[in-house]
Structure 1
Amino acid sequence: MWFATLLRRIAALPRLALKALRRSPRLLWRAVKATPRALRLGAKGVWRGTKATGRGLRAAYRGLRAPAGRLSVQVVLTVLALAGALAAGWLVVPGAGPAWSFGTEPTPEAAETPLALSPEGALDAAPAPGLPADTTPVGDILDPTEAATESPTSAATSPAGPTSLDAWAADLSDLGIPQRALVAYGRGELVSAAQNPGCNLSWTTLAGIGATETTHGTIDGNQIQADGTTLTDIIGPIHGEWGPMQFLPSTWEHWKADGDGDGESDPHDIDDAVTAAANYLCHDNRDMSRPDGWYAALWSYNPRDDYVKKVFDRADEYGRKSTT
């Protein structure tokens, strides 16, 4: 059955082909007749589009000539220029810029804690040492011959001494050092000149240590009172260091001193603490006028390169500012 149907369809193929050939010219003729009309319609569409584009351009031109349009152009050009500059900068130096521009917040630096007076350490692989500017306090300076006959305490607490030191400290108020602390540093140099005549210790070094340790006894809102003691005791948070010069308790017991002649040795009294620090720096016959002697003394006070550099920078600054 299906085979017979297939044969009939095959036999009908020539007839269908002839019929399609007869209809093709008609279809072709219709297409040819329709072509001009399509072209005319396409041309009209193009013309209308061109006219619409022209009207849009003229409207845009009029808008740009208006004050608001000119301002808009300036804003757009500025934004594009800034974006281009930032993109170029990122391509040239991808790692440049603040941390927030890369989606990370900078880690806040930890607060600087007081640095303790440490036992003497070895001087291994030390960097090139330095010496603070050579300055001498104005006022009564002990003559070398007087140092052998006059006691340190009487020299430091004589009536002329404090008066001269007060005037000298007042003249150096631009250093940013509390006047009472500056008096203690000046007295420390005078006392050290008598107790350690070959040490040549300058007040600038003592001030550099005081600045680095406790900001001259003013750390955490503290202050030096008229009698030289701090308003509240300064106790180090790590090792329990004492006072404005931050002595370890065991070190203070060995080097404690009475710098103001009141009969007491108090690490929280800046006069006593500065005198003890001077004796510590000058022990082992150190000469602080020599770079290697200065560095060895500060390294023994606290064997850390960053510590020695901080003290040097601050002492040098005090020395330069006090002589200009």
Structure 2
Amino acid sequence: MVTLILAGCGGVGTLTPIPEGIPPGPGLPVPPIDLDAPGRSAAQLTDWAEGQHALGIPKIALEAYGYAAAVLARSRPDCGIAWTTIAGIASVESKHGMHGSSEPGADGAVRPPIIGIPLDGGPGVAEIKDTDGGRLDGDQVYDRAVGPLQFIPETWQRWGVDANGDGFIDPQSIDDAALTAARYLCASGGDLKSEHGWQRALLTYNQSNRYLRTVRDRAAAYSVGRQV
């Protein structure tokens, strides 16, 4: 079974098969870069990201996803997380930092900040009392998911990492958020090259089979160079 995406403008167009199966494909390989270069090391992936403009992902965001996957390839080679998985999650969570009027800037910071609804136990919403004194989400009563990868403040405080060398661990930074997500997924799923590991990681990120399937479909589309 395959998912079909209609490509082309006008006419019948071309039906391009999007591979099924879990995990989704790894996509275009990330070229070797100096992961420890000063400043925003992800900027070394500009040419790689610009070469995939057909994906419809902001260049800054795609650089961040590629850098995160490259860092984990070195620190957790057993995990095997691909940039396509990070991109699939970011697409669902915030349209790659472009939710509402927000967008990622040249420094990777998403402006205006993306802050979710209060987790107050309403219909379809978990109840999570404030864990950060409102420092990250501005809410001193309930927690709210923050940033382009929509982290709960408590989770961010445990896993957050500075990925762009600016000295701050910022959930509104697409760089910090992408690398934090990659670390969290690898810790949660173990071997993301396996079906079981990938599913476990995604269900830890969001306990919804529908969410898992949507991320899989989008990541699989990116893996063959298609926009979603």
Query: Normalising by the residue count of structure 2, what TM-score does the alignment of the two structures yield?
Result: 0.75
Mapped pair 1:252 → 2:156: yes
Query: What residue in structure 2 maps to residue 311 of structure 1?
Result: 215
Aligned-residue CA RMSD in angstroms? 2.2
Query: What residue in structure 1 maps to residue 22 of structure 2?
Result: 130
| SS of match in other structure, 1:321 | coil
Shift of 1:260: 1.2
Q: Is contact 1:156–1:190 with CA below 8 Å preserved after alignment? A: no
How far apart, in 1, do the equivalents of 2:41 and 2:113 lie? Answer: 27
1:221–1:237: structure 2 CA closer, same or farther, 3 Å change rule? same
Structure 1 runs not aligned, ≥5 long: 1-127, 142-153
Q: Is contact 1:205–1:311 with CA below 8 Å preserved after alignment? A: yes
How far apart, in 2, do the equivalents of 1:176 and 1:197 lie? Answer: 29
Query: What residue in structure 2 maps to residue 179 of structure 1?
Result: 59
Query: What residue in structure 2 maps to residue 236 of structure 1?
Result: 116
Shift of 1:134: 2.9
How far apart, in 2, do the equivalents of 1:160 and 1:223 lie? Answer: 18
Q: Is contact 1:139–1:164 with CA below 8 Å preserved after alignment? A: no
Aligned residues: 183
Q: Is contact 1:181–1:270 with CA below 8 Å preserved after alignment? A: yes
1:285–1:246: structure 2 CA closer, same or farther, 3 Å change rule? closer
Query: What residue in structure 2 maps to residue 203 of structure 1?
Result: 83
1:298–1:216: structure 2 CA closer, same or farther, 3 Å change rule? same
1:321–1:247: structure 2 CA closer, same or farther, 3 Å change rule? same
How far apart, in 2, do the equivalents of 1:280 and 1:138 lie? Answer: 20
2:177 alignment partner, one of 242, 249, 273? 273
How far apart, in 2, do the equivalents of 1:299 and 1:160 lie? Answer: 31
Query: What residue in structure 2 maps to residue 290 of structure 1?
Result: 194
Shift of 1:163: 5.3
Corresponding letter in the other structure for 2:63: V
Shift of 1:212: 0.4
Corresponding letter in the other structure for 1:309: R
Corresponding letter in the other structure for 1:229: A
Q: Is contact 1:156–1:260 with CA below 8 Å preserved after alignment? A: no
Corresponding letter in the other structure for 1:135: G
Query: Normalising by the residue count of structure 1, what TM-score does the alignment of the two structures yield?
Result: 0.53
Deviations 1:269-315 (A, max 9, x none): 01001111111000157011111111110011001011101100000
Structure 2 runs not aligned, ≥5 long: 1-19, 120-143
Of all paired residues, the percent bearing the same amino acid is 39
Larger helix proportion of the pair: 1
Mapped pair 1:166 → 2:46: yes
1:281–1:162: structure 2 CA closer, same or farther, 3 Å change rule? closer
